Amino acid sequence: MSADLTTVLAVVAVPFIAAAVTPLVVRWLGEATAYFAAVVALACFALVGVLAAATGGHPSTVSVGWIPAYDVALTFYVDGLALLVAGLATGVGALVFVYSRGYMHGEPNQAKYYATMLAFMGSMIGVALAGDLVVLFVFWEFTSVASFLLIGFYTGERSSRRAARKALLITVGGGLFMLVGFLVVAAATGTFSLASLVADPAGTRASLQAAGLYLPALGFLVVGAGAKSAQVPLHVWLPDAMAAPTPVSAFLHAATMVKAGVYLVGRFRPLLVGPEAWTVVVATLGLVTMAVTAVLAVAATDTKELLAYSTASHLGLIVAGFGFADVVGAETGAFHILNHAAFKAALFLVAGILAHEVGTRRIAEIGGVARDLPVTAAVTVVAGLSMAGIPPFAGFYSKELLFEVSYQAAADAGGLAWAFPAIAVAGSVFTFLYSIRFVMLFFGDRPASVGAIHRPPWTMLAPPVVLAGVVAAVSVAPQTTIDLVVGMVAESAGGHADFHVGVPTTLKPPVVMSAITIGTGIVLFRWYDRLHTGIAAVLDRPVLRADWWYTTLVDGFTRAGATATPWIQRGALRTYAVWTIATMSGVTLVAYVAAGAAPATVQGLDLAVPIVLVLLVALVAVATLAVAPSHVAGVLTLSILGFMVAIFYILASAPDLALTQLVVETLVLVIFLLVLDRLPAFYGSIPTGRGARDVVLSVLVGATVTVTVLVTTAATPTAPINNFFIERAPVPPTHGSILLDYGGGGNIVNVILVDFRAFDTLGEISVIALAGLSVLTLIGMRDRGETE
Amino acid sequence: MTTVVLRTTVRVVLPIVLLVSIVLFLEGHNHPGGGFIAGVLTTTAFALVYIAYGIEFLEDEVLDRGGETGVPHIRHRIIEDYRAFFALGLAIAAGSGLVAVAAGYPFLTQAVAFVHGVPLYDDLELASAVVFDLGVYFVVVGSLLTVLSVVGGE
């Protein structure tokens, strides 16, 4: 069975349509729009289910033509990985929308919130299902823009705006790296079709290596994925992104958008895995991220900040899993995508409940609230222990797989590769620490600052309970989960569909590693506060903080821009003109030299007497212009030059050009006179330096034009286009009463303008209209701008 | 520059200029001319009136469209008409292309029809390109006059 085009298009389009009508729905339903959005998400979830049932996770491609001339098609590729990511986007989406009903109660801008969230959901489904690199890139950038809008949701707050800008800079910048990576891949393989690339992974890898583009492709793609999935050192945007409303954090920055980078790694894993570079780059990146951000999470003082660093850490785990060449690597990543989405979204929703009901996000000010929030506490225990990787909770199984594959890689390669399992264990110890710290928010002593706590509304309680239910279900029946979902995902990423996990019964290396992790974690947890302050103290040194580097860099650019502007943008039109003209001429001439263009050789000037006369008059006019005593005299002599050119056209049998030249020359002259009427008669003499500069500049322009004419006329095409026009423009000797194939006009120039190249003309008159509009706008808005 | 000589000359020349521009427009298909040239020439005619009589004369006395706009710095309400003019031109040009699409041909396909037995002309050639050219004419006239009036009004 294969995927159905209508279903695929529907699942991508429905969220966008829903987003478009959201403003109307908000007017009608008010805050209950949350349910509308949830129903939309559920419908999409059902459609993803239909797709999953129809394909059974087997790869399937559907396509609809887009720009056939350039071989660009709206192609969608449905397989296990795509279905999982789309399923998360819609499933978690539905829960988050219900949660938003309670959380966003009383907030302004409901329409903006739900419309952006729905559009984001559509973009994320698009990323997951895209079967074409261009389509993937477009949806990818859509998600970045949606994330920007949602992080900056509280537009009145400076920190929100800064965080939004930061996220946009990093994720969109990363997206551009990814685009370059795509172009490299397309250059080597000759296709943008992801579906055909994935269909022949070995061939793709071979053609990349043959073109010597394997490493560039890998590098660019990893930077793109790393920026999106908050890998060190590009993780800095994720903690700041917590300025967004909590449901946004749960949806975008835990379950879905940050998974896009991981998705990319998983998607390209079958294509690129094999050469040692893959493991060296990807596994190292993932493990370093996992360890570093886990340590940073321990230093966090804010619940959402802790979860943000933890998200980066777990994304690192997934990337690391995909990074190992062994098939178990694919299984690690695939399994952990699901696990992490479930427990981290649940924990974010819990953090939102705490912020709402306890009234603070500071870790130190929360404690012992389990009595007041029993259901929330239960959810936290299930999700938190899964995050810590404690058996038999879901997260344990995927972490065991990582231990297994990293140990395997070390045992195979030896030497430095032993760092892999070591870092994995170290990172996991810190993961254990902060996970337990988060769970302990509900237990232990109750700080005096905690006041009366309300029960959260059911809309805020039900979604985390459902997510915790998923975690519990995976914990109880991991094997069933693999058979149903994870297996086909692992297959997409280059693993086997049938693999086995379970609570270990024999003593194998991964089990020992888990035991070390949990043992060390329990011991160290007694000194959690010391660790917390210790790490925070180390981070006081700015060079150690990635954020310091970001700030320094961005502020540096801003300052450099502010310093450079007065030098470049002097505000004098004359300066702008000099730079523009000089650059244009210079670049053109350099380009001719670089391209080795040869100008036509002029063979014997054979000019008729009238033409010589006309040109002589023009020369005299030029000479007079240079010594003209006033503006009016200058303009008049300049127009002599123009009229001589018109006569030259007439003599050269180009009546249409001559007519145009005459009319334009007249109009310009008239306008000049109109303006000159209001100007002083003459400005006086100009400084010698400026005069010399202007002479050099005008010679340069003249030289450029001359060379251009000579170069362009040097070409001798075998089938010149003018023959086509000469044959097709006039009325043919025999014709019917309606003529379609021919221009049917005696004036070839005009027939070209209005018939053969009418599209060009349409563009040109649009430019003319825009020029008119621009003048209106510029003059109309003159008082605004710099003064405000 | 509003001398009597200039005013008298403009009075005589103006109708000729406008007539020539119309001829150039209509003849464009088979002889030198066309929408662009005709548009520039028409603009020149207006510019002559501006120079000789001033913009107020043109809008109050000739076109009866005096008054002020709400936009700062753009005083003359006639500019709004010019703006409408080039919008109309763009619509005509693009619309003429869409007609071809509606008839099942590629965008901007032009046709020529031959009508026989027309008085005076005998055989008349009707080109659909004239409609497109009319759009060009309107855009050129509208935009150039906008620029001229706005800048001239400064």
C-beta separation of A164 from A154 below 8 A: no
C-beta separation of A348 from A325 below 8 A: no
Q: DSSP string of A663-693?
A: HHHHHHHHHHHHHHTTS-S---PPPHHHHHH
Which has more confidence, A391 or A261? A261
Interface test with B, best of A768, A773, A774, A783 (most B CBs within 10 A): A768
User: Which one of A658, A746, A754 has the shortest CB-CB distance to B129?
Assistant: A754
- What residues of chain B lie within 8 A of the CB of A663, using their CB? 37, 40-41, 44
How distant is the Cα of A24 from the closest Cα of chain B, in angstroms?
31
Residue of B nearest to A758 (CA): B108
How distant is the Cα of B128 from the closest Cα of chain A, in angstroms?
9
Nearest Cα to A642, choosing from A671, A621, A623, A656? Answer: A621
How distant is the Cα of A634 from the closest Cα of chain B, in angstroms?
18
Q: Is the C-alpha dihedral spanning A388, A391, A392, A398 positive or negative? A: positive
C-beta separation of A218 from A164 below 8 A: no
User: Which one of B37, B74, B112 has the shortest CB-CB distance to A660?
Assistant: B37
Nearest Cα to A380, choosing from A471, A492, A296, A245? Answer: A471
- pLDDT at position B154: 65
The span from the CA of A213 to the CA of A272, in Å, is 11
Q: At residue A263, does pLDDT exceed 60?
A: yes
Start-to-end CA span in chain A (Å):
63
Q: Please, which residues 76-115 of chain B have a Cβ atom closer than 8 Å to chain A? A: 79, 82-83, 86-87, 89-90, 93-94, 97, 105, 107-115
Interface test with A, best of B110, B128, B148, B154 (most A CBs within 10 A): B110
- pLDDT at position B65: 65
List, in order, residues 6 or more apart from B62 with CB less than 8 Å away: B49
- What residues of chain B lie within 8 A of the CB of A739, using their CB? 111-114
The mean of the pLDDT values for chain A is 88
Taking the CA atoms of residue A481, residue A486, residue A487 and residue A493 in that order, the dihedral angle to the nearest 10 degrees is: -170
For A161-209, write each residue's pLDDT tens digit.
999 999 999 999 999 999 999 999 999 988 888 888 888 888 889 999 9
Average pLDDT over residues A481-496: 84
Taking the CA atoms of residue A493, residue A499, residue A505 and residue A506 in that order, the dihedral angle to the nearest 10 degrees is: -80
Local confidence band at A788 (pLDDT 50, 70, 90 cut-offs): very low
Q: At residue A143, does pLDDT exceed 60?
A: yes
For A446-470, write each residue's pLDDT tens digit.
887 777 888 888 889 999 999 999 9
User: Which one of A753, A759, A780 has the shortest CB-CB distance to B73?
Assistant: A780
Whether the upstream peptide bond of residue A233 has omega within 30° of 0, thus cis, is: yes
Share of chain A above pLDDT 90, in %: 41
Start-to-end CA span in chain B (Å):
17
Which ipTM value was assigned to this complex?
Answer: 0.90
How distant is the Cα of A132 from the closest Cα of chain B, in angstroms?
28
The answer to whether B74 contacts A780, with C-beta atoms less than 8 Å apart, is yes
For B40-70, write each residue's pLDDT tens digit.
999 989 888 888 887 777 777 766 666 666 6
Residue of A nearest to B55 (CA): A674
Angle, alpha carbons A233-A239-A241 (nearest 5°): 115
Share of chain A above pLDDT 70, in %: 98
Q: Is the C-alpha dihedral spanning A546, A547, A548, A549 positive or negative? A: positive
User: Which one of B32, B82, B125 has the shortest CB-CB distance to A659?
Assistant: B32
- pLDDT at position A787: 45
How distant is the Cα of B95 from the closest Cα of chain A, in angstroms?
11
Q: At residue A249, does pLDDT exceed 80?
A: yes
Phi-psi group of A761: left, alpha or beta (phi > 0 → left; psi -120 to 50 → alpha; rest → beta): alpha
- What residues of chain A lie within 8 A of the CB of B92, using their CB? none
The span from the CA of B100 to the CA of A484, in Å, is 54
DSSP 8-state assignment for residue A156? T
Place of tokens 């405000």: A788
- pLDDT at position A636: 87
The answer to whether A768 contacts B147, with C-beta atoms less than 8 Å apart, is no
- pLDDT at position B66: 62
Q: Which residues of chain B have pLDDT under 70?
A: 1-2, 62-75, 121, 153-154
How distant is the Cα of B109 from the closest Cα of chain A, in angstroms?
7
Phi-psi group of A458: left, alpha or beta (phi > 0 → left; psi -120 to 50 → alpha; rest → beta): alpha
- What residues of chain B lie within 8 A of the CB of A735, using their CB? 114
Q: How many CB pairs under 8 A join A and B?
A: 172
Task: Calculate the alpha carbon distances from A768 to B29, B39, B137 in Å.
Answer: 22, 12, 11
Angle, alpha carbons A676-A682-A687 (nearest 5°): 130
The span from the CA of A224 to the CA of A203, in Å, is 23
The answer to whether A745 contacts B127, with C-beta atoms less than 8 Å apart, is yes
Taking the CA atoms of residue A476, residue A481, residue A484 and residue A487 in that order, the dihedral angle to the nearest 10 degrees is: -150
- What residues of chain B lie within 8 A of the CB of A674, using their CB? 47, 50-51, 148, 152
Q: Please, which residues 22-81 of chain B have a Cβ atom closer than 8 Å to chain A? A: 24, 28-37, 40-41, 43-44, 47-48, 50-51, 71-74, 79
DSSP 8-state assignment for residue B33? -
- What residues of chain B lie within 8 A of the CB of A746, using their CB? 29-31
Q: DSSP string of A496-523?
A: -S-----S--S--HHHHHHHHHHHHHHH
Q: Which residues of A493-525 are buried (b: 16+ CB within 10 A; e: fewer)?
A: bbbebebebeeeeeeeebbebbeebbebbeebb
User: Of the given ranges (A96-110, A209-223, A505-519, A560-574), which has the lowest mean pLDDT?
Assistant: A560-574
Q: At residue A70, does pLDDT exceed 80?
A: no
